[in-house]
Chains A and B, each alone.
Chain A
Amino acid sequence: MRTLEDKRWAFVGHVCMIILSILALAPFVLLIIASFTDEAAAIRNGYSYVPEGWSLDAYGYILRQWGVIGRSYLVSMTVTVVGTVAGITMASMIGYTLSKRDLPGRRIILFFITFTMLFNGGLTATYIIYTQVFNIKNTIFGLLIPNLLMNGYSIMMLRNYFEFVIPPALVEAAQIDGAKEITLFGKIIIPLSMPMIATVGLTSALIYWNDWMNGVYYLSANSKLQSIQTLLQNMNENVKFLQQNDLGTQVDASSIPSVTIRMAIAVVGILPVLLLYPIFQRWFVKGIAVGAVKG
């Protein structure tokens, strides 16, 4: 039975959540409207929710510059897909090994991983190793490999799932039938662990798509391997970036709608995340419920 007091609290809850929702969404709305605003109106009145004039110039410019922007899109997608698939494959394989309680040396491998969760050499020491020893500067590996491929948390998450959630009887039955470990892993463990793998995989994909730090560290500013985030980051550092990277198309620099185009490129950058958001959110919320997502 709901008392008057319950209703009053629920009312306060609604008010607070409506305010928070508006605060969360309003900047995105402004960003999208700004990207469709007429350049002259944006310069005159600033970015506004009710612009004096609308225009598709910014997007027209993006289409004309698709050479640069499309390429960065392709880089982002490649890095996201390859990094996520490679990372989750490696992490679940070692996670499976570690889920075997009778494995000789299990504790040593576990310590090898746990230690990295507590102590690290710092970004600079990592940078020195990757650039001095492995020379990955200005290669696609610079975006793929450093820090993002996998980490101790995802390995532990997968291992716990393999060890405690998958019924041991199933694994034992297959072992009696003489299945090899790798077959067992591919045919039984992976299909049964889809909820966890989806959560860890989507989180990893999101991290790859949103990463700009590897671009800053491992690519020079004129590299052709810039992901969409690195492109946005470079535009922040240098407002003239677009003019300078205008690939031979002879346009007058003053004709570039630079005030609104920044916003249009940002919209293009978040578009995949917004489109896939319902899927992300569902797995994310599920992941929190089973403890798969840690801050």
Chain B
Amino acid sequence: MQATKNTGKSISLAAKKKKKRKLKKYLGLYLMALPAMIYIFINNYMPLFGMQIAFRKLDYSKGVFRGDFVGLKNFEFLFSTRDAFIMIRNTVLYNLLFIVVGTVLGLAMAILFNEIKSKKLSRIYQSSVLIPYFISMVVVSYLAFSFLSAENGFINNTLLRAFGKEDVSWYAEPKYWPYILLFIHMWKGIGYSILMYTARLITINDEYYEAATLDGASKWQKVWRITLPMLKPVMIMMFILALGRMFYSDFGLFYQIPMGSGQLYNVTTTIDTYSFRALMKIGDITKSTATGVFQSLVGFILILLANMTIRKISKEDALF
């Protein structure tokens, strides 16, 4: 009896010790996670509390977080003013334009790039086209300025003069800007797209192409019948993901490149630049926060819908 009791006690003691050791082991792991979790709490979760400003009346005497609740009043301008219509229209249309042109051009260039057999030249091309991807939008705005400046720009002073054409004040003519912004977006991103698509292209098994060659298929047929169908799932995923980001825009592109020119606002204002200007230039905190809340909510719904669609098509490719 005595003996068994003793063993029982020592077993439970050992279990306790083990549990303690286990806790100690996990404690270390939890501590390692702590700094990052504190940062994420401050950077990503506290702003969620800040969103309440969008539902309050701004009253500096009470402090930004203590104004009276006004419900959805601060959101009304999003559905009733022309400014809001323009920024939403621009954001969505530019996104659609970038998705379509980006996919077609990126894919076409990647397929052609893949045909180049010289390793050395491939590397030189790749290094060149990828450089713009690594440069900040501020510097890109300087590069654009050196071409587009009305007084000192290369286009007005050299190109247009060579053809005997009149100068154009580029920063004051809205009609050119959809093309300019598309060009700069592509210029900065094409190297990355080519790299991305090439990484997918080389995973396609060579045997398909060899079999097609034996059957006497032309290159063109191989692209249409093998390459594109094999890439279709990836393209659908990327397309749906891009749709999920429909209400977000590249702030740097739309804010830096037009250099704040007021005459261009109609074609360059997006949700992000509008929200920025409302806050930093006009000081309208409520309008700016309301715009941000609207963008986040619609963005959240869109990304959930996108993910749901992807889950239906192919489960492994879903984000969550």
Q: Is the CB of B32 within 8 A of A181?
A: yes
Most B-side CB within 10 Å, residue of A17, A18, A34, A124: A124
- How far, in angstroms, from A22 to B170 measured CA to CA in the complex? 23
CB distance from A200 to the nearest CB of B (A): 13
Which A106-120 residues have a C-beta within 8 angstroms of B? Answer: 109, 112-114, 116, 118-120
CB distance from B103 to the nearest CB of A (A): 12
CB of A257 closer than 8 Å to a CB of B:
no
CB of B6 closer than 8 Å to a CB of A:
no
Most B-side CB within 10 Å, residue of A46, A47, A109: A46
Q: Is the CB of B300 within 8 A of A124?
A: no
Report the count of interface residues on A (CB-CB < 8 A): 98
If the complex has contacts A17-B113, A94-B33, A119-B296, are A24 and B128 also in contact, measured as CB distance less than 8 A?
A: yes
A31 — which chain B residues lie within 8 A by C-beta? 142-143, 146
Report the count of interface residues on B (CB-CB < 8 A): 95
Q: Is the CB of B137 within 8 A of A212?
A: yes
B296 — which chain A residues lie within 8 A by C-beta? 119-122
Q: Which of B39, B48, B134, B219 contacts A9 (CB 8 A)?
A: B219
Q: Is the CB of B136 within 8 A of A236?
A: no
Question: What does the 1/0 interface line of A147-159 toward B look like (CB < 8 Å)?
Answer: 1011000010000
Q: Is the CB of A125 within 8 A of B154?
A: no
Q: Is the CB of A5 within 8 A of B219?
A: yes
- How far, in angstroms, from A288 to B203 measured CA to CA in the complex? 13
CB of A56 closer than 8 Å to a CB of B:
no
A263 — which chain B residues lie within 8 A by C-beta? 142, 146
- How far, in angstroms, from A134 to B134 measured CA to CA in the complex? 32
Q: Is the CB of A146 within 8 A of B43?
A: yes
CB of A253 closer than 8 Å to a CB of B:
no
Question: What does the 1/0 interface line of B154-166 toward A look like (CB < 8 Å)?
Answer: 1011100000000
B276 — which chain A residues lie within 8 A by C-beta? 123
CB of B88 closer than 8 Å to a CB of A:
no
CB distance from B84 to the nearest CB of A (A): 15
Q: Is the CB of A266 within 8 A of B157?
A: no
Q: Which of A13, A126, A280, A285 contacts B115 (CB 8 A)?
A: A13
Nearest B residue (CB) for A274: B131
CB of B187 closer than 8 Å to a CB of A:
yes
A213 — which chain B residues lie within 8 A by C-beta? 251-252
- How far, in angstroms, from A68 to B124 measured CA to CA in the complex? 37
CB of B36 closer than 8 Å to a CB of A:
yes
CB of B181 closer than 8 Å to a CB of A:
no
CB of B85 closer than 8 Å to a CB of A:
no
Nearest B residue (CB) for A44: B157
CB of A188 closer than 8 Å to a CB of B:
no
CB distance from A122 to the nearest CB of B (A): 3
CB of B196 closer than 8 Å to a CB of A:
yes
Say what secondary structure dominates the interface of chain B. Answer: helix
Q: Is the CB of A20 within 8 A of B134?
A: no
B50 — which chain A residues lie within 8 A by C-beta? 121, 124-126, 128-129
- How far, in angstroms, from A25 to B191 measured CA to CA in the complex? 12
- How far, in angstroms, from A31 to B145 measured CA to CA in the complex? 10
Q: Is the CB of A45 within 8 A of B157?
A: yes
Q: Is the CB of B134 within 8 A of A120?
A: no
Q: Which of A97-105, A166-174, A191-199, A243-251 contacts B (4 or more CB under 8 A)?
A: A97-105
- How far, in angstroms, from A109 to B33 measured CA to CA in the complex? 9
Nearest B residue (CB) for A5: B219
CB of A259 closer than 8 Å to a CB of B:
yes
Q: Which of B7-15, B23-31, B75-83 contacts A (4 or more CB under 8 A)?
A: B23-31
Question: What does the 1/0 interface line of B131-153 toward A look like (CB < 8 Å)?
Answer: 11011111101111111010111
A45 — which chain B residues lie within 8 A by C-beta? 157-158
Q: Is the CB of B153 within 8 A of A47?
A: yes
CB of A6 closer than 8 Å to a CB of B:
yes
Q: Is the CB of B275 within 8 A of A122?
A: yes
CB of B125 closer than 8 Å to a CB of A:
yes
Q: Which of A17, A46, A147 contacts B157 (CB 8 A)?
A: A46
Question: What does the 1/0 interface line of A182-210 toward B look like (CB < 8 Å)?
Answer: 10010000000000000000000010011
- How far, in angstroms, from A112 to B40 measured CA to CA in the complex? 9
CB distance from B15 to the nearest CB of A (A): 17
**Chain B interface (Cβ < 8 Å from any Cβ of A):** 25-26, 28-30, 32-33, 35-37, 39-40, 42-51, 53, 64-65, 109, 112-117, 121, 124-132, 134-139, 141-147, 149, 151-154, 156-158, 187, 190-192, 195-196, 199, 218-219, 251-252, 256, 259-260, 272, 275-276, 279-280, 285, 288-289, 291-293, 295-296, 299-300, 303-304, 320
Beyond the given A45-B157, A236-B138, could you list 18 further A-B residue pairs with CB under 8 A, ordered by the A residue number?
Answer: A12-B112, A13-B115, A17-B113, A25-B128, A30-B143, A46-B157, A49-B154, A49-B158, A100-B29, A118-B304, A126-B43, A126-B50, A149-B43, A210-B134, A210-B136, A232-B142, A262-B142, A270-B135
Q: Which 5 residue pairs of A and B lie closest in terms of their CB atoms, listed nearest first?
A: A122-B292, A46-B157, A121-B47, A210-B136, A125-B50
